[in-house]
Structure 1
């Protein structure tokens, strides 16, 4: 197993991509802290992991709350003795053109994605530096590389997380910490499912047209990226054995963005 006895924290792991990665990490032998604002969702994932023979714990965590993040990492260390992998995955979305965008909606998206990633990173690094190293991972997006209409706060946050990832790679190297960012295309998670009717209303087109002409238009095969695609990459990055792979953005998007 590629992550045998590794200790991992994944935020936003109560559903969607975070859940898929948490379950995949557990299958690869990791002990997984499933962190989410939704306590019931986190506990459901933990029960599924345990039912399959894995080891997991649930953490109620608002990633925008400094104390909640610090307390969550402390709880992991108390329970399992350290932290080897942290994945800042928690996120939200808001659909609006910039000229209609309320500041509170802008701030909420930035706060969860970028400020939350910072708080998780800082807490994780303090533990990893003490223990001689680790792996810091971030959930970016193709929107870490390019923009789409109606998503200015999300695009801005994802660009910012790319910069944070690179800064961690530079600063963390001397402490044995690697840092990489996963940049998926559209995955049919609850977050994306919610966007389909929202974009249809805003653009005045059908939901089928949103999928075909907006979300999948620039892929090479008209296919969504899958949860399995993303979780496999997350395992590979966590298991990679050296700093040869650090500070990198890995795009998994059916060719939507090529770099």
Structure 2
């Protein structure tokens, strides 16, 4: 198994992409920590992955709260004695034109995506540096590379994750820590399903046209990226055996945006 006895923390892992990453990591032998704002869902997912409770842990974590993040990461280390992989995945989406975007919602978006990535990274690096090893994986987006209407804070935050990852790659190299970004296309999760009617209303088009003419227009085959596609990429990055692959962003999008 490719992650045998590695300790992996996945934020936002009680549902969607994060849950599938946690599932794949557990299948590959990792001890998996489900960190999520929804404490009950985090515990339930941990039990689902390992009913014995020996190799999974649910942790309540608001990634924008410094004390919660630090306490949650300490809980992981106290329980498993190590922290080998961090997947910074927690995120939300709010859509509106820039001219109408509420500042409070802008701040909320950047806090979850960027402040959350920073706080969880800082806490993880403290342990990874002691171990002289680790892999940090950020959940970016094709919007880390491209812009779309109605998504100013999301696009801004996802671009910012690439910058953070590059700095972590440079600073972490001396400590055996790698850092990379996964940039998925549209994945049919509740986060995306919520956007379809919202964008249809804002753009004045049908929900079918949002899917065909907005979300999947630039793909090579008109297909959504799947949670399995993203999880397998996260497994590849977590299990890569050298520092040759660091500071990179991998686009997983059926050809939407080609490097």
- TM-score bucket (shorter structure): over 0.9
What corresponds to 1:243 in structure 2?
243
Q: CA shift at 1:132, angstroms? A: 1.1
Separation in structure 1 between the aligned mates of residue 76 and residue 123 of structure 2, nearest angstrom: 11
Q: Is the 8 A contact 1:94 1:151 kept in 2?
A: yes
Q: Is the 8 A contact 1:27 1:54 kept in 2?
A: no
What corresponds to 1:9 in structure 2?
9
Q: Is the 8 A contact 1:132 1:175 kept in 2?
A: yes
Q: CA shift at 1:53, angstroms? A: 9.2
Q: Is the 8 A contact 2:47 2:53 kept in 1?
A: no
- Write out per-residue CA displacement over residues 115-150 of structure 1, whole angstroms, 9 at most, x where no aligned residue: 100000000001100111100110000000010000
Q: CA shift at 1:87, angstroms? A: 0.8
What corresponds to 1:143 in structure 2?
143
Q: CA shift at 1:54, angstroms? A: 7.6
Q: Is the 8 A contact 2:223 2:254 kept in 1?
A: yes
1:203 aligns with 2:203: yes
- Structure 1 segment 1-259 matched on structure 2, within 5 A: 1-51=1-51, 55-259=55-259
TM-score when scaled to structure 2?
0.98
How many pairs are equivalent?
A: 259
Q: 1:53 to 1:224 in 2, by over 3 A?
A: farther
- Write out per-residue CA displacement over residues 87-112 of structure 1, whole angstroms, 9 at most, x where no aligned residue: 11000111000000010010000000
- Write out per-residue CA displacement over residues 63-101 of structure 1, whole angstroms, 9 at most, x where no aligned residue: 000000000110000000010000110001110000000
Q: 1:258 to 1:133 in 2, by over 3 A?
A: same
- Write out per-residue CA displacement over residues 167-192 of structure 1, whole angstroms, 9 at most, x where no aligned residue: 00000000000000000000011100
Separation in structure 2 between the aligned mates of residue 43 and residue 176 of structure 1, nearest angstrom: 31
Separation in structure 2 between the aligned mates of residue 52 and residue 27 of structure 1, nearest angstrom: 15
Q: Is the 8 A contact 2:46 2:53 kept in 1?
A: no
- For the residue of structure 2 that corresponds to 1:238, the secondary structure is helix
Q: CA shift at 1:163, angstroms? A: 0.3
Query: What are structure 2's unaligned runs of at least 5 residues?
Result: none
TM-score when scaled to structure 1?
0.98
Query: What are structure 1's unaligned runs of at least 5 residues?
Result: none
Q: Is the 8 A contact 1:29 1:54 kept in 2?
A: no
RMSD: 1.1
Separation in structure 2 between the aligned mates of residue 197 and residue 94 of structure 1, nearest angstrom: 12
Separation in structure 2 between the aligned mates of residue 83 and residue 176 of structure 1, nearest angstrom: 13
Separation in structure 1 between the aligned mates of residue 40 and residue 58 of structure 2, nearest angstrom: 9
Separation in structure 2 between the aligned mates of residue 197 and residue 107 of structure 1, nearest angstrom: 23
Q: CA shift at 1:217, angstroms? A: 0.2
